[in-house]
Amino acid sequence: MVNITSDMQGNVAVIGVNGRIDGSSAPQLDDALQAAINGKHFKIVADLSGTEFMSSAGMRALLKARLAVQDKHGELRLAAPSDYLMDSLKLVGLDKLFHIFPSRGAALYDF
């Protein structure tokens, strides 16, 4: 089960992801990210501190959002992935595409 939250921290959209992101829950993540982008929020932080697992479908949602905000000169930052999730991101090379921060606050700082 997954719980995805969206809120604003100043001019930054923060998407909180709690639980497992797999093929059945990845559309919820995609919907939250696309809603922020459709709302013209091109500075986004995905808070992964509560993310237990992320499949390729979840990573695909992050990549899709990254491309969309880049086209608008924005950025999608990742915050607080667990060691396990960080290993997965490194394995597929996403650590080279995203700015990854140790906490939500660090990701929001100087955005």
Q: Where in the chain are the domains?
A: 2-102
**pLDDT tens profile 15-26:** 999 999 999 999
Q: Are 64 and 44 in contact (CB under 8 A)?
A: no
* DSSP one-letter code for 98: S
CATH domain 2-102 topology: Transcription Regulator spoIIAA (3.30.750)
What is the Cβ-side half-sphere exposure of residue 13, based on CA atoms within 13 angstroms? 23
CA angle, 39 then 16 then 70, to 5°: 45
Residue pLDDT, tens place only, 3-55: 999 999 999 999 999 999 999 999 999 999 999 999 999 999 999 999 999 99
User: pLDDT value at position 31?
Assistant: 98
